[in-house]
Amino acid sequence: MKKVRVFNKSIYLIVALLLVLTTILSYILLNDSFALAESKELEDTVVEEKIYDKSNVEDEFDDSCVLVVIDKKNSEINKNHDDRFKLGTTIASIEDLTNISGNIVDKKYLNEENFHQILKLNLAEKSKQNVLDTIRRIEDIDGVLWAGVNGYSSFGEIEESKTSNSSNFNISSGVKESLSLLSASARASLPNAVNGSRFAQQWGLLGDYGISAPKAWMNYTMGSSSVKVGVIDTGIADHEDLDKNVVAGWDFYNDNEITNDDPIGHGTKVAGIIGASGESANGVIGVNWKVTLVPLQVVNERDRFQIDAAAKAITWAIENDIDILNYSSGGDSEYEVLKTAIGNYQGLFVCSAGNNARNVDWGVDRHYPSDYCRNVSFCDRVISVGAINSQGELCESSNFGSMAVNIFAPGYGILTTSPTYIDPSGYEETEGTSYATPFVTGVASLLYSLYKNSNFNLYDAYIAEQVKKTILFNVDYMDDERYFGKCSSGGILNAEYALEYSPLREVISGFGYTSSWYKWTGKVELLIDKPGLVYIDSMD
């Protein structure tokens, strides 16, 4: 009998369904691939919204040039843009203020991902009207994100130094107590100046509302010369309390290596607060008296910071691996060039909040570049500093703001180094947010010394972010509400707290903290002989 082969109809149905599903899946995957490619293409071709300069002929600015920021799409490190502006009778030459020399891969503070070029177009004919006319002609050129004037920022009138006789200083009880806590052996490990009368007058280090510097030094770190701080300012004069820590820098306004701070003295005073070595037996001591100080001079003949020079100084800091920049200046005008230069830099940028005695959170009262401590892509690497006096009160002149000022630090009656051509003694008492800022810079440099001596191999931009968090999360609130609503941290600078609660605490040898704040993510293998007798409480 012939056998008949019977096929189950359900098999055909299953095969058909599989074919349909395969077709649908292939279509989805293909379209997803196209969508991803299209998305990537769109991402690569995103056009940044143009920013238009609003300067007019009555404003103060350099009449010889126009500054230009190139958008991200058209920016490449050291790219030539001569053809874009077609050099002719109007534009005499073009200078790239963001030119980087050497091996780009080795530049640890270069923000390659968000890099924007900054150009300086030198005009053939000097006049304010020519500057404005040139801006109008070129601002709509493809690739130009912003074109504008080369302006200035200043110190503020209150920050003019005032010579004081040392006998006028009042040593608070807090200073006396701090000094009494230093044993003979402790003093022996500190600079010569610790035994002098001027050190006792440094209430910003020692007083009731000072930063508790001696406790930070004795318990955590005395700093390190491996940390480099760039002082964007008027230069640093020769001084016996500074010479040990100051290395060669540059004058970006005059384009030479002379950075001797003549005739202002502002940068010398700032540098003394950050890192005076205390070499002189009756000198002063900086917050980090072992730090390396680099003078980055940007002041013009009218004693103001010039914006193009500041941009070049920041680029130089990128080229030379400067860890922290101190910028004790600012103003009401926002310059896109300065904002761009800071964004290109991945180190820590510490700046003064200004001396206008106003809330700088809103509108026309905002202060720059300190406002970049918020609401910009690089704000986690910018600290804005206001000033207090020895009684813990806000200085009358200091700006404040719950968002635009991060922290307060000593800024009134501050004894620091001064050029001898300003004061023959070599020391002055001074005031203003310019001098509160270097206290924060000094503490930041102490924290950097911990990171540099660790074995965690953290990214440098990440270190800047963590140092800012550490400083702001560990302020001194002084058990009252006087700083609440006045700054984002709600308190005043405290070096001891910041160093004590730094996330770089090696609790277990070979293990450490990673990207989560204060969260340890290491592993420990346990061999338990009697599991029934062990209870493990797991904590997040």
Q: What is the pLDDT of residues 124-165, one digit of tens each?
A: 999 999 999 999 999 999 999 999 999 999 876 444 444 333
Contacts (Cβ under 8 Å, ≥6 apart) of 526:
none
Give the residue, 459 or 468, on which the prediction is more confident. Answer: 468
- pLDDT at residue 24 tops 90: no
Please tell me the total number of residues recorded for the chain in this structure. Answer: 540
State whether residue 239 is helix, strand or coil.
coil
CA torsion, ordered 345, 346, 347, 352, to nearest 10 deg:
60
Catalytic residues: 233, 266, 434
Task: Identify the bridge partners of residue 251 per DSSP, sorted by sequence position.
Answer: 256, 297
Rounded-to-integer distance, Cα 12 and Cα 209, Å: 86
Pair 326, 233: CB distance under 8 Å: yes
Percent of the chain with pLDDT over 90: 70
Q: Enter the tokens of residue 432.
A: 């203003």
Q: What is the largest CA-CA distance in the chain?
A: 129
Rounded-to-integer distance, Cα 190 and Cα 175, Å: 17
pLDDT of 13: 63
Contacts (Cβ under 8 Å, ≥6 apart) of 230:
249, 294, 296, 313, 316, 317, 322, 324, 325, 326
* End-to-end CA separation in angstroms for the chain: 77
Give the residue, 12 or 347, on which the prediction is more confident. Answer: 347
5: number of Cβ within 10 Å: 4
Pair 335, 364: CB distance under 8 Å: no
Rounded-to-integer distance, Cα 500 and Cα 505, Å: 9
Rg, Å, the chain Cα set: 29
- pLDDT at residue 38 tops 90: no
- pLDDT at residue 536 tops 90: no
Element (H, E) at 66: strand 65-70
pLDDT of 177: 58
Q: What is the pTM of this model?
A: 0.84
pLDDT of 387: 98
CA torsion, ordered 346, 350, 355, 359, to nearest 10 deg:
70
Provide the pLDDT confidence category of residue 538 given band limits of 50, 70 and 90. very low
CA distances from 304 to 156, 237, 310, 440 (A): 10, 17, 11, 23
Q: What is the mean pLDDT of residues 182-196?
A: 80
